[in-house]
């Protein structure tokens, strides 16, 4: 019986992988590569970003946990604030996104978890849409998940492997979401890269 269950699980995983599309390069500039692919179900694409950052793991963690500083680098961010600090490396925050007309602005609640290990810095940003009641005319993002895997690269740089899935809600056509996701992710990492370089480059050169 156990063998039958394992076989079914294995076949299910193979079917899931087969149903997913291949990663396709959408943008490759400034050392930032953005890929997208069709998911196993639904029409909203998944994103994958790879890049290198001029920072240490500690510096990146400090920047990601500085929620009030998200205006400086997160694409379309209008404001963000910490709702609850669970531990020094885990918190819940609220964020509003200002989007171009005629799309209504969104808000989201995110549980951010930072898990450093000797080899890999694992970071997860998971949506918690029901943590707070909806606010005003804002549309609450019903689902989002971002996963970072950060490793030490050459020349004191960090190698970032980032995947992102989102359903923005509110009935935006899938083609419109898919058309803008790559641009938003690229702009976010481009600004993060500039911010870290400007803030820490001199200090990192002395390491």
Query: Per-residue pLDDT for 30 more than 90?
Result: yes
Distance CA 204, CA 155 (A): 10
Average pLDDT value over all residues in the chain: 87
Q: Which residues pair with 96 in a beta bridge?
A: 79, 107
pLDDT, residue 207, reads: 56
Please check the confidence at residue 1 and state whether its pLDDT lies above 70.
no
Question: What is the predicted pLDDT for the residue at 42?
Answer: 75
pLDDT digits (tens, 9 = 90+) for 161-180: 999 999 988 888 787 888 88
Coil vs helix vs strand at 203: helix
Structure confidence at residue 102 as a pLDDT band (50, 70, 90): confident
Phi, psi (rounded to 5 degrees) for 73: -150, -20
- For 65, residues 6+ apart whose C-beta sits below 8 A from its C-beta are 89, 91, 112, 114
What number is the average pLDDT over the span 2-17? Answer: 43
- Residue 100, pLDDT above cutoff 90: no
177-204 per-position pLDDT tens digit:
888 888 999 999 999 999 999 988 755 6
Q: Which two tokens stand for residue 74?
A: 């997160």
Cα–Cα distance for residue pair 185/73, rounded to 1 Å: 11
pTM (two decimals)? 0.84
Q: Which domains does the chain have, with CATH numbers?
A: 29-205 (3.30.530.20)
| Mean pLDDT, residues 28-47 taken together | 90
- Residues with Cβ < 8 Å from 29, sequence gap 6 or more? 186, 190
């Amino acid at each position: 019986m156990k063998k039958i269950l394992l076989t079914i699980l294995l076949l299910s995983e193979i079917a899931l992988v087969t149903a997913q599309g291949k990663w396709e390069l959408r943008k490759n500039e400034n050392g930032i590569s953005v890929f997208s692919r069709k998911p196993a179900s639904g029409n909203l694409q998944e994103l994958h970003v790879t890049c290198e950052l001029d920072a240490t793991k500690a510096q990146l963690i400090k920047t990601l946990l500085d929620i009030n500083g998200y205006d400086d680098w997160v694409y379309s961010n209008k404001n963000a604030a910490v709702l609850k600090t669970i531990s020094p490396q885990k918190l819940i925050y609220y964020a509003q996104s200002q989007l171009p007309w005629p799309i209504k602005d969104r808000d989201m609640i995110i549980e951010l978890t930072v898990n450093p290990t000797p080899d890999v810095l694992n970071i997860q940003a998971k949506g918690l849409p029901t943590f707070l009641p909806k606010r005003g005319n804002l549309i609450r993002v019903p689902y989002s998940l971002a996963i970072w895997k950060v490793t030490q690269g050459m020349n004191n740089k960090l190698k970032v492997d980032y995947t992102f899935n989102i359903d923005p809600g509110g009935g935006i056509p899938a083609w419109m979401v898919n058309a803008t996701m790559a641009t938003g992710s690229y702009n976010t990492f481009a600004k993060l890269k500039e911010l870290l370089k400007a803030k820490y480059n001199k200090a990192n050169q002395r390491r």
